[in-house]
Structure 1
């Protein structure tokens, strides 16, 4: 076989191998990961992995109200852990945690995971979210777990729209408009003592003392 033919055969083999490898990746269980999705923060410390971490604000700019932290927390260890706190360094805002059932701490089961944010899931609500976060920033978020300790990462700050609508805070309703006031009727002056009193029937006055 000539040298040129050998080069052509090798090139064809390389192309077939590349197409086969791509087809195998696309047909696997993770084929949907090839879809275009926003980049979200993730970190792994010991047995804990946190991914898809976001700070989600009100959907419309300028609206005052809470924001939320959304994330999925994995526990690859053999013992359950609790999320004891979530902090936003550099911000004075508190993050209120609530388990999915509305009571107790958020528990990450052994060899399991917990979702924070969205209907039916645990929640992490940032009080005064509008004043402590700004859309487009990367906000440092620290998860404090009972066994692993602090796990920190930078989460994107996004409004509750598009991909994030179902995981964001409830829209704060506009305050009700103040009721219109009408001028009250001027009360008729009552008769003063010593100047006569008005009679109910005729409106005529009679001298006092008579």
Structure 2
């Protein structure tokens, strides 16, 4: 077989092998390469798109889980996210919206991003021990107008680009303990009271100066006896005239 015939056979074989791939690439937006789905969860309810959802755990044993994602409003009116629940959590998620609101409002033709940014909107769940990394847990969104939607969301460890979403524990009440030492200074009050009491006893016993050497407890007795004797002697002052 000549060299030119062998080249023609190889070209024909390659053309047959590449024909299915060429057909897939030429099918526009329906091509298989455009049908790949991201790892993060997404859904749509009415005019609200919920995209790029992920759950991120807190410290081991804390039971805290935070929600990350994007809420996109395709309506001409604002939409309010009233509640978010996590399957197995002790309570609905704690939401922090704009200006300290307990709900999150998605503006008309706008979006809200849950990225873990300090001071930004957030959703945090507590008491969720079953939400461990590698699992999918159902999350339910309740909106004011379009209603509810539920979907499974993957749980991740707070690592790499998920680290910013790590939920933090609420501040403890430990800073209030320093007030305890402030109560100890009144304990010095009895010391000042005892120092004030000796002058008071000294004034009571200081009527006669001769009583100074005696104990303060007995000083009151001598003070009363002279008075008693002087009151009993008025008749005796007249006796020298008889002698």
TM-score by structure 2 length? Answer: 0.53
1:8: which partner in 2? 11
Q: Cα distance 1:153–1:130, how it changes in 2: closer, same or farther (>3 A)? A: closer
The alignment's C-alpha RMSD in Å is: 4.4
Structure 2 segments unaligned to the other structure (5+ residues): 26-35, 175-217, 219-243
Alpha-carbon distance in structure 2 between the residues aligned to 1:61 and 1:92? 17
Show the counterpart of 1:48. 48
User: Secondary structure at the residue paired with 1:165?
Assistant: helix
Cα deviation for residue 101 of structure 1 reads 3.6
Q: Which residue of 1 aligns with 2:198?
A: none
- Indicate the structure with greater strand content: 1
The structural deviation recorded for 1:117 is: 3.7
| Cα distance change on mapping 1:84 and 1:175 into 2, 3 Å | closer
Structure 2 Cα separation of the partners of residues 143 and 118 of structure 1: 19
Find 2:146's aligned residue among 131, 148, 151.
Answer: 148
Structure 1 unmatched ranges of 5 or more = 23-33, 177-208
Q: CA deviation at 1:124?
A: 0.7
**Alpha-carbon distance between aligned partners in 2 of 1:61 and 1:38, rounded to the nearest angstrom:** 27
- Whether the 8 Å CA contact 1:57–1:130 is kept in 2: the answer is no
1:114 aligns with 2:117: no
Q: State the partner residue of 2:166.
A: 168
- Report the CA distance shift for 1:132/1:8 in structure 2 as closer, same or farther (over 3 A): closer
Post-superposition offset of 1:54: 1.7
Q: Which has more radius of gyration?
A: 2
Cα shift at 1:72: 0.8
The alpha carbon displacement at 1:150 in A equals 0.4
Task: Please tell me whether the aligned partners of residues 80 and 106 of structure 2 are also in contact (alpha carbons under 8 angstroms).
Answer: yes
Aligned mates of 2:171, 2:133 — CA distance in 1: 20
Whole-angstrom CA distance in 1 between matches of 2:169 and 2:158: 9
Q: Which residue of 2 aligns with 1:103?
A: 101
Matches of 1:82 and 1:39 in 2, distance apart? 26
Q: TM-score, normalised by structure 1?
A: 0.60
Relative CO higher for 1 or 2, CA cutoff 8 Å, sep ≥ 6?
A: 1
Shift of 1:96: 0.9
CA distance in structure 2 between the aligned counterparts of 1:124 and 1:167, rounded to whole angstroms: 10
